[in-house]
């Protein structure tokens, strides 16, 4: 009896040891996932930033204008905080992004909600404070960065911010001119000054809508982009960037006729806009019988911006459509050298495709695969009877 009992105890101990090993293995795996995956998981979780914007009303301002300007200030502060957060993330550090690209990326991943507004008096002036909650969605950040590098979003964002800063300066100067000195009676603003003030506010609103359209474009929400660009056009009917963005969105929704009409309107306003010409070339490229016209348009864009790598990428795509492999690869190579990652991918894809094709047998007649002469095969000789 002793031997069977010892044998059973031995097997039981072995089983317990195996279970302990399995549990230890699971614990180590969980520990590894916590240590290694925690930073990524933390970044994937939405980050919330709360900011306040303040505006002191002047004689030229309406309450609606004051609220809009305070909201703009709150958004600007939220953008700065969210941009600092993204800049410190591992995903962003892995890429070489300019400050403008980081700000454009931040605008694309941040959504803003107004929490409240408070009105008070400061001397004889009303003051409004708008508090906002900005949520930064950092999921799929690498894909968003890649899309950003291929688009014109960062260039557009920089232009918008430059124009916005100029308008804010102009607005502040107008406000200073209108303000009265201590002890002087307040005068009603002159009509031309009031009209200029309203035009500045309207232009700033148009730029806000334009930025919203660019954000929706980056996220490929085409209907939302179209709506935002329409609002920008309503506020500023000669805003070329709004027509260009709208045409791009319409083309992506396969509404080519409307897209062409819209981009032609943009080019009528500014015939030397490289971005508008590039979008028109993109639309024409996919229309039957108009590829050569698309090539002519993109050539004009490249004359205006010969160092723009994205334009070489677009021209390469047109040459692919024209079945000109050599010129397509030449333009992809130029775009790749300029830092356009998609062009590098297109170039590699085409080269891999050529390498995978079976090579034709171009041997000289009468030679084998090594180039040596084949022995001449003569028919068997038959003796005449």
pLDDT tens string 215-232 = 888 888 999 999 999 999
Distance of CA 195 to the CA centre of its chain: 36
**pLDDT tens, the chain, 385 aa long:** 444 544 555 465 555 555 555 655 555 554 444 444 444 444 457 789 999 999 999 888 899 999 999 998 999 899 888 888 888 876 677 777 777 778 888 888 888 999 999 999 988 889 999 999 999 887 777 777 777 766 655 667 778 888 888 998 999 888 888 765 444 555 666 788 889 999 999 999 999 999 999 888 888 899 999 999 999 999 999 999 999 999 999 999 999 999 999 999 999 999 999 999 999 999 999 899 999 999 999 999 999 999 999 999 999 999 999 999 999 999 999 999 988 888 898 888 877 777 666 555 444 455 454 444 555 556 665 555 4
Helix (H, G, I), strand (E, B) or coil at 112: strand
Residue-wise DSSP of 319-370: HHHTT-HHHHHHHHHHHHHTT-HHHHHHHHHHHHHHHHSPPP--PPTTB-TT
Look at residues 300, 199, 283 and name the one whose alpha carbon lies nearest to residue 246. Answer: 283
pLDDT at position 35: 42
Q: Full-prediction pTM beyond 0.75?
A: no
Q: What are phi and psi of 217, to 5 degrees?
A: -65, -45
Which single residue is written with the structure tokens 């890429």?
Answer: 95
Residues 6+ apart with CB under 8 A from 109: 82, 86, 136, 137, 138, 141, 144
Which single residue is written with the structure tokens 């089983």?
Answer: 15
Q: What are phi and psi of 311, to 5 degrees?
A: -65, -35
- The neighbouring-strand residues paired with 53 are 130
Four-residue CA torsion sign, 22, 23, 26, 28: negative
Using only C-alpha atoms, the chain has a radius of gyration, in whole angstroms, of: 33
pLDDT at position 378: 60
């Amino acid at each position: 009896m002793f031997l069977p009992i010892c044998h059973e105890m031995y097997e039981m101990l072995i089983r317990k040891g195996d279970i302990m090993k399995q549990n230890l293995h699971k614990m180590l795996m969980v520990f590894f996932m916590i240590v290694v995956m925690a930073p990524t998981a933390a970044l994937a979780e939405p980050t919330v930033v709360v900011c306040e914007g303040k505006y002191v009303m002047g004689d030229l301002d309406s309450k609606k204008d004051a609220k809009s300007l305070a909201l703009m200030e709150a958004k600007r502060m939220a953008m700065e905080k969210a941009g600092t957060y993204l800049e410190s993330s591992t995903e962003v550090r892995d890429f070489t992004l300019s400050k403008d690209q980081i700000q454009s990326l931040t605008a694309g991943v941040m959504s803003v909600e107004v929490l409240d507004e408070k009105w008070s008096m400061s001397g004889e002036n009303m003051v409004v404070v708008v508090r906002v909650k900005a949520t930064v969605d950092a999921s799929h950040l690498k894909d968003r960065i890649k899309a950003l590098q291929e688009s014109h979003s960062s260039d557009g964002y920089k232009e918008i911010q430059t124009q916005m800063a100029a308008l804010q300066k102009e607005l502040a100067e107008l406000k200073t001119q209108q303000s009265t000195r201590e002890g002087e009676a307040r005068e009603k603003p002159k009509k031309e000054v009031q009209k200029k003030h309203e035009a500045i506010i309207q232009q700033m609103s148009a730029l806000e809508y334009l930025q919203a359209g660019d954000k929706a474009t980056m996220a490929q929400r085409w209907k939302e982009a179209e709506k935002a660009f329409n609002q920008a056009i309503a506020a500023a009917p000669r805003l070329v960037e709004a027509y260009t963005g709208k045409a791009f969105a319409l083309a992506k929704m396969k509404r080519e006729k409307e897209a062409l009409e819209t981009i032609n309107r943009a080019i009528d306003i500014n015939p030397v806009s490289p971005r508008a010409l590039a979008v028109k070339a993109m639309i024409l490229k996919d229309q039957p019988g108009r590829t050569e016209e698309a090539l002519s348009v993109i050539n004009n864009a490249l004359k205006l911006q010969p160092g723009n790598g994205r334009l070489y990428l677009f021209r390469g795509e047109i040459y692919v459509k024209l079945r000109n492999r050599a010129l397509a690869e030449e333009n992809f190579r130029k775009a790749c050298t300029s830092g356009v990652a998609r062009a590098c991918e297109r170039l590699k894809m085409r080269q891999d495709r050529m390498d995978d094709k079976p090579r034709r047998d171009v041997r000289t007649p009468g030679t084998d695969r090594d180039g040596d002469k084949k022995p001449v095969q003569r028919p068997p000789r038959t003796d005449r009877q």
